Amino acid sequence: MANLITELDAARVAENLARIKEELPAGVEVLAAVKYVPLEELGTLAEAGVELVGENRAQDLEAKATAYPGVFRWHFIGQLQSRKVKAILPYAELIHSVASDSALRQLERHGTPNTKILVEVNVAEEEGKAGIQPADLPDFLARSPVQVAGLMTMPPFTDDPEASRPYFAALRELAREHGLHHLSMGTSQDYRVAAQEGATIVRIGTSLYA
């Protein structure tokens, strides 16, 4: 398991945030991934000007969001378990990782007219990886009982940001075909390429905290 990120410096985080924003086109949001940021360090992120945060685990989302009410906008970015949907909904303004009919059923039971999701697409069609297949997207969208705001993907792991470009471009094209606006794609190693290919949300961890 990765080590927790502690002893954050607000000035350094603010500097990194400003630099990343300068590298991105207007309108692209920087989401701070806080899976490894302890609850007690979140105040430092607020001091640094971080507004949008994403948590991977439902129990941590609840704990952190309730400890800092009204301070951040929260997204859920982890692998979504259908049994956790009800717990996530009160805190997350957007769920990035919907990819199963069981999750859709829970959203139908517990969602509201304000519930918004992103559908996770396995653009590379990697075996055993989360996300629906691109060919299944039209039917999945039709079955969604809540508003689909856009799409999310995680390309195959690589140290070369350019290797991710075809997958980001493919997700952009899928979104265009279906009239979807938001694209959650790109992390610390490839967010510049993701933004060039149309990302509206980039999920940043290491590059923000280092």
Q: What pLDDT digit, counting tens, does each position of 93-140 carry?
A: 999 999 999 999 999 999 999 999 999 999 999 998 999 999 999 999
Q: Where are the beta strands (DSSP E) in 134-179?
A: 147-152
10-209 folds as TIM Barrel (3.20.20)
Q: What pLDDT digit, counting tens, does each position of 154-177 carry?
A: 999 999 999 999 999 999 999 999
Question: What gap in Å lies between CA 149 and CA 92, rounded to an integer?
Answer: 14
* SS percent in the chain: helix, strand, coil, step 5: 40, 20, 40
Q: Cβ of 144: how many Cβ atoms within 10 Å?
A: 16
Provide the pLDDT for residue 3.
Answer: 85
Provide the residue ranges of all domains of the chain, joining segments of one domain with +: 10-209
